[in-house]
Structure 1
Amino acid sequence: MTVSHFLRLPLPGNDGWQALKRKNFSIPFLAWVVVLPMSLLPPVLLYFAGVHYGDDFMPGFADKEWRFITTILFLAELLTFFIMGWLIHSVMNSDKMEISYHDAYLLAAIAPIPLWLSSLALLVPVLAISVVSVLVGLCFSSLLIYQGIKSLCQRSDDDVVAMSATYTVMAASLLAWGILMATVWAF
């Protein structure tokens, strides 16, 4: 899959999700090749920002235990992948949309990529750029989840059900993300 195929995944009417499904990547492959390396981006860049920018980035930013915080963040991101795959499978099957475990974990691996990439904004020591980057990443992740649900579910002809399922998955994702961020700032 090329970058142009990936960029078209959030758009309606493309066969990118079906092409990914046909590749039949195993769940361990997705975890090792997609989730693990991409999950490293936010902790590494957050550690970089915390150590190099300090209070210039945000008041109180320099006084954190960045090694501990970023390790917990990394482990929580890995755990979140497995929980989100299970959640997507449960939500879709309870809404009678029928998605396989494989496809649920494919969606759980691909959907957070824009959020992981948004952490690249931490290379610029401006808080506003990081905030905007995260919001844009969140929008693209939501679109990926919606289009992924519509493409990967066997009964995806009902837009209202697909939007409802997307809302449920995104609400759980935001809750998990909020808990992660609260954990980061608590230390």
Structure 2
Amino acid sequence: MKLADYSQMFVSYHEGWDQLVAAHPDRKAVFYKLVLPLSMIPAFMILYAGTLYGSYYAPVLSEAGWVLLAAIFLAAELGTVALMGWVIQQLALRHTGNGYDGGFLLAAVSAVPMWLSSLTLFVPNLTFNMVCAVLGLLAACALVYHGVPTMAGHERREDVRDMTYLVMWIGVGSWAILSILVLLPMLGR
């Protein structure tokens, strides 16, 4: 899949999605080539922000605290992608009756904008960081909105529409929990 195809996946049910479904990468490849490298970006950015701007974000957090926060966040991200993949697979089984096995792939692809939004931690401005994180979440929702129906193979069915919204709500809840992990140390500032 090309980068240009990925940019079309935010607004199209078929551009990029059809190529992804046809490629059908296995879970291990998706984990090692997409999930693990990209989920390290937020962890490294938390370390970066904590090292350079720690007193701005959370003056009470020590350097060891930032390392611990980054490690916990990385573990939580990896667990969340696996959990979201399982949830998508279970919902597809319930709503469409087929054993859709691309839940992990969809969870990984839709998490990319959120992982990349952590790059805004280069700028020590909490409002800017939060706005960009919300934009990343909205982009992830756009990917889920277009990805679930196409990857489940029933883009116009009402039950798939319901499943899409449910996946988006569960994803937003997961993102909120991950955000709280990072924001809790900052509340003391």
**Taking structure 1 as the reference length, what is the TM-score of the superposition?**
0.89
Shift of 1:92: 1.8
Q: Which residue of 2 aligns with 1:40?
A: 40
**Does the CA-based 8 Å contact 1:121-1:130 persist in structure 2?**
yes
Residue of structure 1 equivalent to 2:93: 93
Q: What residue number does 1:74 align with? A: 74
Instruction: Compute the displacement of 1:141 (Å).
Output: 0.3
Q: Pairwise mapping of residues 1-187 of structure 1 onto structure 2 (< 5 A)? A: 1-56=1-56, 58=57, 61-64=58-61, 65-96=65-96, 98=98, 100-101=100-101, 103-158=102-157, 160-186=158-184
Any idea what the Cα deviations from partners look like across 1:102-161, whole Å, max 9, x if unmatched?
x21110110000000000111111112111111111111001011111211122222x43
Distance (whole Å) between structure 1 residues aligned to residue 100 and residue 35 of structure 2: 19
| 2:96 partner SS | coil
Q: Deviations over 1:75-112 (max 9, x none)?
A: 111111111111001112211263521x2111011000
Question: 1:97–1:152: structure 2 CA closer, same or farther, 3 Å change rule?
Answer: farther
Name the CA shift for 1:128/1:111 in 2 (closer, same or farther; >3 Å).
Answer: same
Structure 2, unaligned runs of 5 or more: none
- Report if aligned partners of 2:154, 2:160 keep a CA contact under 8 Å in 1: no
Q: Any gaps of 5 or more consecutive residues in structure 1?
A: none
Take 1:154 and 1:14, find their aligned partners in 2: how far apart are those partners? 11
Identity %: 28
What is the total number of aligned residue pairs between the two structures? Answer: 182
| 1:162 to 1:100, Cα distance in 2 relative to 1, 3 A | closer
CA contact (8 A) 1:27 1:105 kept: yes
* d(CA) in 1 for partners of 2:74, 2:140: 19
Distance 2:108 2:23 in 1: 14
Q: Which amino acid aligns with 1:63?
A: V
- Report the TM-score when normalising by structure 2: 0.88
